[in-house]
């Protein structure tokens, strides 16, 4: 315990010296503490949450060896490169290294110099590796991408199962498992599979406030993809497709439209794939159209947009894939092109031997379909899927299609729905979606008339509409369960009992306008977090720094983000330190980085001719408005009079929750002498104590620290008195 505390004391200094960071994030702090106390742990932190520091820092603080087990060579290489850039002794043992490198690594491991050693599960269990580790003093194992060990997860890798033997082979060495995506079931399974002892569980907030989620009706996939890609010129974009063929056809279509894009899939030769990943990491290539094979090894921190051209197969997959956007915390966008056609397509691919597995995959798919068709805030849905409450703003998150008003009701919904349902129930021969879209728009093509389409009720009812638009309506009716897809060789559709009832009773149906048609807007700045850019930054200088970084990355053969993040460059272009010594005041620049790159950066700054050593931008702190927002002002007099929340709520006909929210805003701005009329004094001191441990940034950790005993409302109001 005492030793552990001594170690923690060196923490700030190490953090500052190596990485140039001022403090750990609350959850990182807890994880590092538990790691130094040699506890087993399962850690779930969203992408960009800062998992790597959680196992890198203990290795440095305790001056011992941490063995990191990681599934992919590319992933290991990036982390090792990043550690070497900041001057930490780290290496990976893998098949791509030559004898000499391997001998050097072994020597450093045995002499106790090595801090982090990365290995794949297969490699770890080779007797030569085990022998090495037995002779070395291993302080802890860190299992990265730990969800791969669970068959309940979305990326089960059988070779991970072998890791269950770790505890047998090294019974006294603690194991910490890390993942960005795991439902509570998968979290439990990870602990069981790794045979952990009294594992601690750390679960961060899943919400990624810097991401704007948009679900766009997939009418014309290529057009919608181009629209999204065009919002991010010269930035990293990943377009995910279902099949190899799709990646190629979409990439070709983009190229034909003058957009430089490259297809990537598992069918390409290894060398080509390696080259593409490297080009992307070093920012020579920006737009990759890929299958999910373009995945875990991709750590480029400034991916600004992830587009799903096809529905992902699970929510975990969606979270993981969209997670690759905005790892650096800057606002980024995730676009999912959706229509029910993809559900049909994916379901047909699921048919397989193992009944139980198929049923499981069907359930996962159904969850994504529900997500895509729901009218609930996307941030909220995602958080809830992963078992977390989402504490959003009253008027929405400001960062999803639903809250941004993308869900416009379709005029004449009921009538349209009845026409479609009436048509489909009229013909005895069953047909697919495309057939019905053609019938309803009045097509006289032979394939339609041959099947009696021109005799169907409702033939040509929507002759003024495009088949795409009508297809979207049919898809929505499938999603509403009023139509269904028949089992069988062809995906034919029919009316359900519920659809029949709606038709007979003349009940109303709500369809929505195709979001893509009404909302091509640029993503609005996310209200929940993320700074679009650093105030005072100079764009031209920033671009020159990016070009310098690209060049340097290429020379060192490392990914660009490893050298320095976009945010760091933005801050540099705003503050413009005039000397290498002053460079260190910028968060994200460690000692070694300043020594290696300081001169080059300072030169760029002087060359720009802009005034140097500007004041630090205040983006780190939340900007507190000095006057009350209009809505809050309505309540201010009641607050000043110390009236009870319930009373204010009934007087204004508002919900209590709303009034609590306004109270917090009012407290934050007016800083009254006392809040005891609303929050008992002992509760206030409990909350303050908790905040001193967890920090005030996120509510959830405070709430959890208090074991859920104190309401979010109380926490918010107390928090508002601070800072």
Which of the listed partners (Zn ion, ligand ADP, none) does 377 bind, with a CB threshold of 5 to 8 Å by partner kind?
Answer: Zn ion
Interface residues toward Zn ion, by CB under 5 A = 377, 379, 396-397, 400, 403
Choice between 290 and 400, CB closer to Zn ion: 400
CB of 82 to ligand ADP, least distance (A): 8
CB of 318 to ligand ADP, least distance (A): 16
**Distance between CA 24 and CA 223 in Å, rounded?**
43
Residue-wise DSSP of 105-154: HHHHHHHT---EEEE-HHHHTSHHHHHHHHHS-EEEEEETTGGGG-TTSS
CB of 481 to ligand ADP, least distance (A): 38
Q: Give all strands of the β-sheet with 287-290 in edge-to-edge order.
A: 211-217, 332-338, 303-308, 236-240, 287-290, 262-264
Choice between 45 and 687, CB closer to ligand ADP: 45
Which of the listed partners (Zn ion, ligand ADP, none) does 326 bind, with a CB threshold of 5 to 8 Å by partner kind?
Answer: none
- Residue 519: how many other CB atoms lie within 10 Å: 16
Choice between 78 and 246, CB closer to ligand ADP: 78
Residues 6+ apart with CB under 8 A from 298: 238, 277, 280, 281, 324
- Under the binding rule (CB under 6 A), the answer on residue 47 touching ligand ADP is yes
The stretch among 17-25, 220-228, 489-497, 513-521 that binds ligand ADP (CB under 6 A) is 17-25
Nearest residue to 405 via CA among 154, 623, 250, 214: 214
CB of 404 to Zn ion, least distance (A): 8
Q: Is 307 helix (H, G, I), strand (E, B) or coil?
A: strand
The full 3-state SS of 36-105, as one line of letters, equals HCCCCEEEECCCCCCHHHHHHHHHHHCCCEEEEECCCHHHHHHHHHHHHHCCCCEEEECCCCCHHHHHHH
Which of the listed partners (Zn ion, ligand ADP, none) does 49 bind, with a CB threshold of 5 to 8 Å by partner kind?
Answer: ligand ADP
Is residue 465 within 8 Å of residue 329, measured between CB atoms? no
- Under the binding rule (CB under 6 A), the answer on residue 71 touching ligand ADP is no
DSSP state of 17: I
Q: Is 429 helix (H, G, I), strand (E, B) or coil?
A: coil
Choice between 14 and 425, CB closer to ligand ADP: 14
CB of 579 to ligand ADP, least distance (A): 23
The stretch among 43-51, 409-417, 513-521, 603-611 that binds ligand ADP (CB under 6 A) is 43-51
Which of the listed partners (ligand ADP, Zn ion, none) does 145 bind, with a CB threshold of 5 to 8 Å by partner kind?
Answer: none
DSSP state of 367: H
DSSP state of 653: T
Which of the listed partners (ligand ADP, Zn ion, none) does 50 bind, with a CB threshold of 5 to 8 Å by partner kind?
Answer: ligand ADP
CB of 305 to ligand ADP, least distance (A): 18
Among 7, 18, 24, 305, binds ligand ADP (CB under 6 A): 24
Among 7, 21, 386, 717, binds ligand ADP (CB under 6 A): 21
Cα 421-427-429 angle, rounded to 5 deg: 125
DSSP H/E element including 334: strand 332-338
CB of 661 to Zn ion, least distance (A): 16
Q: Mutual orientation of helices 355-373 and 467-479 as an angle, nearest 10°?
A: 120
CA atoms 312, 313, 318, 320: torsion sign = negative
Among 27, 41, 42, 50, binds ligand ADP (CB under 6 A): 50
DSSP H/E element including 483: strand 483-485
Which of the listed partners (Zn ion, ligand ADP, none) does 153 bind, with a CB threshold of 5 to 8 Å by partner kind?
Answer: none
Nearest residue to 186 via CA among 314, 58, 294: 314
Which of the listed partners (Zn ion, ligand ADP, none) does 70 bind, with a CB threshold of 5 to 8 Å by partner kind?
Answer: none
CB of 229 to ligand ADP, least distance (A): 24
Contact code string over 565-604 relative to ligand ADP, x by CB under 6 A? x---------------------------------------
Among 7, 36, 53, 325, binds ligand ADP (CB under 6 A): 53
**Distance between CA 143 and CA 146 in Å, rounded?**
6
Is residue 85 within 8 Å of residue 563, measured between CB atoms? yes
Choice between 236 and 406, CB closer to Zn ion: 406
DSSP H/E element including 175: strand 175-179
- Under the binding rule (CB under 6 A), the answer on residue 327 touching ligand ADP is yes
Which of the listed partners (ligand ADP, Zn ion, none) does 403 bind, with a CB threshold of 5 to 8 Å by partner kind?
Answer: Zn ion
CB of 327 to ligand ADP, least distance (A): 6
Choice between 204 and 598, CB closer to ligand ADP: 204
What is the number of the residue whose Cβ is closest to ligand ADP? 50
CB of 207 to Zn ion, least distance (A): 10
Contact code string over 285-324 relative to ligand ADP, x by CB under 6 A? ----------------x-----------------------
Residues 6+ apart with CB under 8 A from 272: none
Choice between 388 and 580, CB closer to Zn ion: 388
CB of 87 to ligand ADP, least distance (A): 15
CA atoms 653, 655, 656, 658: torsion sign = negative
Is residue 514 within 8 Å of residue 219, measured between CB atoms? yes
Number of residues in contact with ligand ADP, rule: CB under 6 A? 16
Which of the listed partners (Zn ion, ligand ADP, none) does 47 bind, with a CB threshold of 5 to 8 Å by partner kind?
Answer: ligand ADP
Is residue 429 within 8 Å of residue 452, measured between CB atoms? yes
The stretch among 44-52, 247-255, 433-441, 491-499 that binds ligand ADP (CB under 6 A) is 44-52
Give the burial class of 103: count Cβ atoms within 10 A of its Cβ; 0-12 exposed, 13-18 middle, 19 or more buried.
exposed
Nearest residue to 151 via CA among 182, 178, 123: 182
Choice between 47 and 105, CB closer to ligand ADP: 47
Choice between 52 and 247, CB closer to ligand ADP: 52
- How many angstroms separate the most distant Cα atoms in the chain? 85
The stretch among 23-31, 415-423, 483-491, 659-667 that binds ligand ADP (CB under 6 A) is 23-31
Among 25, 39, 347, 576, binds ligand ADP (CB under 6 A): 25
Q: How far is CA 175 from CA 4, 112, 167, in A?
A: 17, 20, 8
Nearest residue to 218 via CA among 252, 242, 245: 242
Choice between 53 and 325, CB closer to ligand ADP: 53
Which of the listed partners (Zn ion, ligand ADP, none) does 209 bind, with a CB threshold of 5 to 8 Å by partner kind?
Answer: none
Among 34, 52, 210, 573, binds ligand ADP (CB under 6 A): 52
Which residues in the 529-568 window bind ligand ADP by CB under 6 A?
565
Which of the listed partners (Zn ion, ligand ADP, none) does 327 bind, with a CB threshold of 5 to 8 Å by partner kind?
Answer: ligand ADP
Binding residues for ligand ADP, rule: CB under 6 A, are: 21, 24-25, 28, 45, 47-53, 301, 327-328, 565
């Amino acid at each position: 315990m005492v030793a552990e505390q001594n170690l923690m004391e060196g923490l700030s200094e190490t953090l500052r010296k190596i990485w140039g960071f001022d403090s750990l994030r609350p959850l990182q702090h807890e994880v590092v503490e538990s790691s130094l106390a040699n506890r087993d742990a399962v850690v779930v932190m969203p992408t960009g949450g800062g998992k790597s520091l959680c196992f890198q820092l203990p290795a440095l603080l305790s001056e011992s060896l941490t063995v990191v087990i990681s599934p992919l060579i590319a992933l290991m290489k990036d982390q090792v490169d990043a550690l070497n850039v900041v001057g930490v002794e780290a290496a990976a043992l893998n098949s791509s290294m030559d004898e000499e490198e391997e001998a050097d690594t072994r020597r450093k491991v045995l002499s106790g110099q090595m801090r982090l050693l990365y290995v794949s599960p297969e490699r770890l269990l080779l007797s030569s590796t085990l022998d090495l580790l037995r002779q070395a003093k291993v302080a802890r194992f860190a299992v990265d991408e730990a969800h791969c060990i669970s068959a309940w997860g979305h990326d089960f890798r059988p070779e991970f199962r072998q890791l269950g033997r770790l505890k047998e082979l090294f019974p006294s060495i603690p194991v910490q498992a890390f993942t960005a995506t795991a439902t509570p079931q998968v979290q439990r399974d990870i602990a069981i599979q790794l045979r952990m002892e009294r594992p601690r569980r750390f679960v961060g907030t899943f919400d990624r406030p810097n991401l704007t989620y948009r679900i766009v009706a997939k009418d014309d996939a290529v057009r919608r993809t181009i629209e999204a890609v065009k919002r991010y010129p010269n930035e990293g974009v990943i377009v995910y497709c279902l099949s190899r063929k799709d990646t190629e056809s979409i990439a070709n279509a983009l190229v034909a439209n003058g957009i430089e894009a490259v297809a990537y899939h598992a069918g390409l030769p290894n060398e080509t794939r390696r080259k593409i990943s490297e080009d992307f990491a070093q920012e020579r290539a920006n737009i990759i159209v890929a299958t999910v094979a373009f995945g875990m090894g991709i750590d480029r921190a400034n991916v600004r947009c992830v587009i799903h051209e096809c529905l992902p197969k699970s929510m975990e997959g969606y979270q993981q894939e969209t997670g690759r956007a905005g790892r650096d915390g800057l606002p980024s966008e995730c676009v999912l092109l959706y229509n029910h056609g993809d559900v049909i397509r994916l379901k047909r691919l699921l048919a397989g031997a193992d009944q139980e597995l198929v049923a499981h995959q069907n359930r996962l798919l159904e969850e994504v379909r529900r997500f895509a068709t729901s009218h609930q805030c996307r941030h909220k849905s995602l958080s809830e899927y992963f078992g977390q409450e989402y504490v959003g703003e009253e008027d929405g998150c400001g960062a999803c299609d639903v809250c941004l008003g993308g869900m416009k009701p379709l005029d004449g919904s009921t009538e349209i729905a009845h026409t479609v349902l009436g048509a489909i129930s009229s013909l005895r021969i069953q047909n697919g979606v495309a057939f019905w879209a053609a019938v309803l728009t009045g097509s006289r093509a032979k394939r339609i008339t041959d099947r009696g389409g021109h005799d169907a009720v409702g033939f040509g009812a929507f002759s003024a509409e495009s088949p795409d638009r009508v297809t979207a309506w049919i898809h929505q009716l499938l999603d509403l369960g009023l139509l269904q897809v028949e089992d069988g060789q062809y995906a034919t559709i029919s009316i359900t009992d519920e659809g029949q009832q709606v038709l007979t009773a003349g009940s109303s149906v709500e369809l929505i306008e195709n979001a893509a048609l009404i909302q091509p807007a640029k993503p609005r700045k996310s209200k929940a977090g993320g700074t679009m850019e650093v105030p005072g930054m100079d764009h031209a200088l920033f671009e020159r720094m990016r070009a310098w970084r690209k060049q340097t990355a290429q020379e060192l053969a490392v990914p660009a983000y490893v050298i320095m993040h976009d945010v760091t460059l933005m801050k540099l272009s705003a503050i413009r330190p005039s000397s290498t010594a002053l460079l260190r005041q910028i968060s994200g620049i460690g000692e070694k980085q300043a020594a290696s790159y300081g001169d080059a950066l300072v030169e760029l700054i002087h060359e720009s001719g802009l005034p140097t050593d500007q004041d630090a931008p205040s983006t780190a702190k939340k900007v507190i408005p000095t006057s009350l927002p209009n809505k809050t002002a309505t309540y201010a007099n009641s607050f000043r009079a110390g009236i009870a929340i319930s009373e204010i709520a009934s007087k204004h006909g508002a919900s209590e929750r709303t009034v609590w929210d306004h109270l917090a805003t009012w407290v934050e701005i007016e800083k009254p002498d006392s809040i005891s009329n609303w929050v008992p004094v002992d509760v206030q001191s409990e909350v303050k104590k908790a905040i001193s441990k967890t920090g005030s940034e996120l509510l959830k950790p405070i709430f959890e620290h208090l074991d859920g005993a104190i309401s979010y409302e109380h926490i918010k109001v107390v928090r508002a008195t601070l800072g």
